[in-house]
Structure 1
Amino acid sequence: MDGALMFIMYPSSENEDTYPTIIAQTLKDAASGHDTPSPLSNVNITVQSSTIENSVMTANIICQNCAGDQSHQSVDISSTKQPWIWATGPGDTGSNVVSSDSQDADINQHNNYGVFFVDMTATKSNSSAVPSISGKADIDVKPLPSSVPALIIIHAVCLTGSFLLLFPLGVVALRWFKWVRVHWMLQVLATLICLLGLVIAIAFSAMDPEYSAFGEGHQIIGIIVVVALIVQAVAGYKHHQDYKKIGRRTWISNSHLWIGRVVIVLGMVNAVLGFSLAGSTPETIGIAIIAVVVLALTVAIAWFGAKRSKSSAIPLGSSEPSSIALSGYNTPRGEDNSYRPGYGEGPPVRGEGNNYTRGSGEGQPAQGHGFV
């Protein structure tokens, strides 16, 4: 709520059953976004009328410069759906109840809040009188399900954990340790978790009027990233099948490689955007720092792993003696043009990094495993 324009009402100390105290306030430079707001001296408001009846406070207010003042977030008077936040509390009885004539009374944090929308074009008037606004007199207000906060946490854990832990580990497993099976298992697991996180996000966004339009950048990027992950998984499977047959990369392989790189970076960026959308400044900064560190380490390990593989390869045209039996080149191929299992060492097969690998073990076809 940092920088928000607020209209705050609480009972007057002298006429607490009749007239409320009304003040325009804002919150500035609050580290957490939650603190006691301060009065705005440069906002020109006129209270036309105010009453308290049956514990319900009503006020008609005219604001001459709420749309253009720079001391707070401006009101968009051209919007037909301007979002507002309502809040009440923290209590109706006891020490929590505020009763004061002061415009800077110490008020505790609210315990009930929600979102509503106003057609601001109907609130403009050149007259000093309060404009007549047509619309619904009775509004059905429904609270968000109590499960929404828990769903948001699960969503954050799923997506943040996938892009800051599982996907980077999958890259390291392949690039450094050459663990092909561990690589694809981690990537498939992370992709499934991201799908679950997306379904959860769609569910709680549909419940919240503020996000049900799916117009936030975090939502749009998130959908694109998860769709790209599905394409990435299909490309990875096709790459693996083709590579077993022909022993080299294809355009599918390169697509799998570059989609993976872009998706991991976008996923990390979107994780930071998600925490920013939630209004958690310290957490946003923390996640951003972690994302940068994880990305830098992943790139460094992948680069050194590729360099290590290249330095240990048998170079093309090398004059060094080879222990590979010449007869190995005559190992028969099957109908699908792939090497059939034979005896002894298989032929040298060029890996994805232009490196030769050798078949080993009885009855094992020679295969080269590169990295994705």
Structure 2
Amino acid sequence: MKSTLFSATLFAVSAATVAAATILSDLDHAQHEPHAALQKRGFYEDGFKIFKRKRNAHACMMSIVFIVLFPLGAISMHLPFRGIRVTTRVHAPIQILGFAMMIGAMGLGIDIAAVDLNFFASSTSTKAHVVIGLLTCSVLILFQPALGLLQHLHFRRTAKKSVFAYIHRWTGRVAICLGWINSGLGFQLVPISLVSTGSLVRNFVLMGVLGALWFFLVGWDGYRHHWAKKEKLGAYRVGWDKGSVLRRQHAVEDGTNDEVKLESSHTGNQGTTAGEQHL
């Protein structure tokens, strides 16, 4: 106990010493350069520099959300993970992180549009970037989490998809595509001549790679689902052509369960015979 208390006291004294040394160093630096503090304060009071920082933060966060996080969350639903609950362990955490970042970036965007650029004034024409951004983010905030939660609860009860799943899926897909379009509109609004080449290349390369992977997985899953249904219908059609019809009948005998009867009808040149086969 005493050793622990002594260690804590020593740590506190060390921290206080470091803090005091830092303060004294700053005071000494301010005495030798009296304008340093004023220059630093002036930097943060410069409205244009603050505007640039907010604009860059908004662009960076929204790019991460709509070009990286949301597509990765969508891609995770199509990957062949085994032994992992993809929806709750992979998809939901990624989308929640992106959702939180999107709300923060949306707040920055509204502040920039209202305070710095005065886009919401009646005398100013509304920009497409602002309209698409507000519409997309508002729809995601209002509907997407609720739709995902409703589908999850429905799946836990029935182990099936519901209409909430399809609305949730297509709302997310449309929102991601609108986010990609709005990214280009945002660069155009800056204007694009002031955006560094590295930022443009990085954004559009990531968009192309993740978008191509996402579209491929969606198309591949759709292709497999289509051919699985086609093969299933083909098997039914073969059975129908052979004259086989499956019926489920309730047994009336004591202690027996439901039975499935396969009735086969064969048509010949001289007449028709029917037989029943119990499965």
Does TM, normalized by the shorter one, top 0.5? yes
Cα distance change on mapping 1:183 and 1:169 into 2, 3 Å: same
1:60-89 deviations in whole A, cap 9, x for unaligned?
xxxxxxxxxxxxxxxxxxxxxxxxxxxxxx
Residue from 188, 204, 211 that aligns with 1:295:
211
Aligned-partner SS, 2:157? helix
- What residue in structure 1 maps to residue 62 of structure 2? 159
* Residue of structure 2 equivalent to 1:262: 174
1:81-160 correspondence runs (5 A): 144=47, 146-160=49-63
**Is the partner of 2:161 in helix, strand or coil?**
coil
The structure that is helix-richer by fraction is 2
Q: Contact 1:162–1:190 at 8 Å: present in 2 too?
A: yes
Match of 1:117 in 2: none
Q: Write the mapping of 1:332-351 to structure 2, written as runs, cut at 5 A.
A: none
Which fold has the larger relative contact order, with Cα–Cα distance below 8 Å and residues 6 or more apart in sequence?
2
Please, what TM-score do these two structures have when normalized by structure 1? 0.42
Cα offsets for 1:137-196 (capped at 9, x unmatched): xxxxx9735322111111111110111111111112111134222011111111111111
Which residue does the alignment assign to 1:233? Answer: 145
Determine if contact 2:68/2:206 at 8 Å carries over to the other structure.
no
> What do the CA deviations read for 1:189-239 (whole angstroms, capped 9, x no partner)?
111111110001111222224534381110111011111212112101111
Letter in 1 for 2:211: L
Distance 2:184 2:80 in 1: 29
Q: Supply the distance in 2 between the matched residues of 1:290 and 1:185 (Cα, whole angstroms).
A: 21
Please give the per-residue CA displacement for 1:323-346, whole angstroms capped at 9, x wherever unaligned.
xxxxxxxxxxxxxxxxxxxxxxxx
Displacement, 1:302? 2.9
Hey, what's the Cα distance between the residues in 2 that align with 1:243 and 1:209?
46
Relative to structure 1, the CA distance from residue 225 to residue 144 in structure 2 (aligned partners, 3 Å threshold; closer, same or farther) is same
Residue of structure 2 in register with 1:304 after alignment: 220
Give the Cα separation in 2 of the matches to 1:280 and 1:217: 15
- Segments of 5+ residues of structure 2 without an aligned counterpart are 1-44, 237-279
Matched, 1:272 2:179: no
Moved more, 272-281 or 191-200: 272-281
In structure 1, the gaps of 5 or more residues are 1-141, 320-372
Q: 1:235–1:255: 8 Å Cα contact kept in structure 2?
A: yes
Match of 1:215 among 126, 129, 141: 126
Contact residue 72 and residue 210 of structure 2 kept, 8 A: no
The structure where strand makes up a greater share of residues is: 1
CA RMSD of aligned residues (A): 3.0
